[in-house]
């Protein structure tokens, strides 16, 4: 690359205004209070996604304004994005294994549907309902 | 650099008249190029940090999917007041480190030093609270690993798979704590250099990069706090 071109690109670093930094900090404190309050409520299964959504919002605020990625060279956004995609792959593909163990590696000659029907019959109807279905194998 | 409007000390202006700067290494064309290269290197390092912690977040996710009810009960042992206080302290120290960069960009060396000192105080406060949390757990037999034998107030958590929750808790907060400790060391180094007048509006790369590191440490805690203490 020509020296002249690089010289021409010289620019001042972005100076994030004090008000923006203060606003980000106050926003983060408000979100912290919010996550404590919502976690105190018993919302059942909704508690986890709510807490994660608030935490992600806080992380985005820190990255955009405290780390100034919003005003930064876009190659850094690319670096972070590739890293985050890898984290998603890591978690998702691990869960493909751990969350479905026992389902996919089933080596029983019966199908899962048959086993479930058998169990249901045992729970509701006792031995007489299970007898015609199962048999020896 | 002729467009620079900052009020820096004269010694630095003298070096700039011919487009050169005492901090500019010969293999870079300009201070800006040097700054951008350093910053991208730091972002690459931060990605490796995120991946380091993501391994532990995966362990957390797997055990939570397997034993959700255990995690709900076990998290009641952790004090959300102490965790919340630490969250506020870390957020405040992230704010002061952002301010320190803001002020050195304006050439204000005194405000830089003051904000760096505030940051290091916040980091120390975080570790003091963490110390009280850890010793409170240890005194009730809540240890990581096979020594896990809760008693007294925490006897209710003596259930299967609670030991895994606390192993994950101690490893994640422990490695996070090590990062805070490293941060304290870096900030003390920055304070010494700031007091010696090494930083200016034209060159403050170490402050910027340490700031980025500190924000990542903050972000890790932003996720640890709700996942471990609240839900």
CA distances from B140 to B59, B155, B156, B166, B213 (A): 25, 8, 11, 13, 34
Domain count, chain B: 1
| Res B24 pLDDT > 70 | yes
Q: Which residues of A touch B46 (CB under 8 A)?
A: 80, 83
- Choose, out of A7, A24, A36, the residue to mutate when testing the contact with B (most B CBs < 10 Å): A36
Q: Is B21 within a domain?
A: no
Nearest to A33 by CA among B83, B125, B84: B84
**What is the arithmetic mean of pLDDT over B205-216?**
96
pLDDT the model gives residue A129: 47
pLDDT band for position A14 (cuts 50, 70, 90): confident
Q: What is the mean pLDDT of residues B48-74?
A: 93
Q: Do A39 and B80 touch (CB under 8 A)?
A: yes
Task: Answer yes or no: do A16 and B102 touch at CB < 8 A.
Answer: yes
pLDDT of residue A115: 86
> Chain A window 1-40: which residues touch B at a Cβ cutoff of 8 Å?
3, 6-7, 9-13, 15-16, 18, 21-22, 24-25, 28-29, 32, 35-36, 39
Taking the CA of residue A122 and the nearest CA in chain B, the distance in Å comes to: 26
When pLDDT is averaged across residues B72-90 and rounded to a whole number, the result is 93
Higher pLDDT pick, B99 / A107 = B99
- Does a structural domain hold residue B80? yes
Q: What is the pTM of this model?
A: 0.82
CA distance B191 to B120: 9
DSSP string covering B84-148: HHHHHHHHHHHHHHHHHHHHHHTT-HHHHHHHHHHHHHHHHHHHHHHHHHHHHHHTTT--SGGG-
Q: Find the domain containing B71 and state its range.
A: 31-230
pLDDT on residue A68? 92
Kindly report, residue by residue over B166-185, the tens digit of the pLDDT.
999 999 999 999 999 999 99
**Domain-embedded: residue B140:** yes
CATH label of the domain that carries residue B191 = 1.20.120.80
In a domain, B45, yes or no: yes
CA atoms within 13 A on the CB side of B202: 27
Residue B130 in tokens: 């963490």
Token code pair at residue A108 = 């029983």
Instruction: Report yes or no: A110 at the B interface, CB cutoff 8 Å.
Output: no
pLDDT in tens, B122-155: 999 999 999 999 999 999 889 988 888 888 888 8
pLDDT at A12: 67
Query: What is the number of CB-based contacts under 8 A between chain A and chain B?
Result: 138
Residues 6+ apart with CB under 8 A from B184: B120, B123, B124, B127
Q: Is B6 inside any structural domain?
A: no
Residue-wise pLDDT for A71-87, tens only, equals 988 999 999 999 999 99
Q: Is the pLDDT of residue A111 over 50?
A: yes
Residue B125 lies in a domain: yes
- pLDDT, residue B54, reads 96
Please enumerate in sequence order all residues whose Cβ is within 8 A of that of B52, keeping only pairs 6 or more positions apart, or say none. Answer: B175
Q: Per-residue pLDDT tens for B190-209?
A: 999 999 999 999 999 999 99
> CA–CA separation, B172 vs B197, rounded Å?
37
B25, part of any domain: no
Name the minimum distance, in Å, from the CA of A134 to any CA of chain B.
30
Could B50 and A83 be called an inter-chain contact, meaning their C-beta atoms sit closer than 8 Å?
A: yes
In a domain, B2, yes or no: no
For chain A, the three-class secondary structure string (H helix, E strand, C coil) is: CCHHHHHHCCCCCCCCCHHHHHHHHHHHHHHHHHHHHHHHCCCHHHHHHHHHHHHHHHHHHHHHHHCCHHHCCHHHHHHHHHHHHHHHHHHHHHHHHHCCCCCCCCCCCCCHHHHHHHHHHHHHCCHHHHHHHCCCC
Interface predicted TM-score (ipTM) over 0.90: no
How far, in Å, CA of A131 to CA of A38, rounded?
51
């Amino acid at each position: 690359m020509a020296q002249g071109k690089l010289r021409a690109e010289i620019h001042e670093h972005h100076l994030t205004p004090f008000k923006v930094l203060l606003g980000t900090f106050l926003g983060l404190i408000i979100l912290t209070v919010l996550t404590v309050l919502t976690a105190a409520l018993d919302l059942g299964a909704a508690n986890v996604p709510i807490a994660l959504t608030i935490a992600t919002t806080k992380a985005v605020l820190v990255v955009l304004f405290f780390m100034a990625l919003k005003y930064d060279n876009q190659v850094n956004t690319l670096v972070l994005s590739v890293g985050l995609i890898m984290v998603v792959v890591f978690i998702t593909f691990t869960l493909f294994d751990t969350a479905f163990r026992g389902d996919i590696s089933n080596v029983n000659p019966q199908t899962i549907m048959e086993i479930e029907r058998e169990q249901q019959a045992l729970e509701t109807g006792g031995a007489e309902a299970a007898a015609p279905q199962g048999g020896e194998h | 650099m002729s467009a620079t409007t900052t009020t820096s000390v004269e010694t630095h202006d003298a070096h700039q008249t011919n487009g050169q700067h005492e901090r500019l290494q010969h293999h870079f064309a300009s201070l800006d190029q040097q700054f951008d290269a350093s910053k991208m290197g730091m972002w690459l390092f931060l990605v490796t940090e995120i991946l380091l912690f993501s391994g532990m977040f995966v362990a957390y996710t797997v055990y939570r999917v397997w034993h959700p009810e255990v995690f709900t009960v076990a998290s009641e042992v952790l004090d959300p007041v102490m965790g919340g206080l630490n969250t506020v302290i870390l957020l405040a120290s992230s704010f002061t480190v952002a301010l320190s960069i803001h002020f050195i960009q304006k050439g204000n060396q005194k405000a830089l030093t003051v904000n760096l000192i505030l940051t290091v105080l916040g980091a120390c406060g975080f570790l003091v609270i963490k110390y009280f949390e850890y010793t409170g757990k240890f005194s009730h037999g809540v240890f990581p690993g096979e020594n896990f034998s809760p008693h007294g107030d925490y006897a209710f958590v003596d259930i299967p798979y609670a030991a895994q929750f606390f192993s994950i808790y101690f490893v994640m907060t422990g490695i996070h704590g090590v990062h805070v400790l490293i941060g304290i060391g870096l900030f003390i180094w920055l304070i010494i250099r700031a007091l010696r007048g090494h930083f200016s509006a034209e060159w403050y790369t170490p402050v910027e990069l340490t700031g980025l590191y500190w924000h990542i440490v903050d972000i890790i805690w932003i996720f640890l706090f709700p996942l471990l203490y609240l839900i």
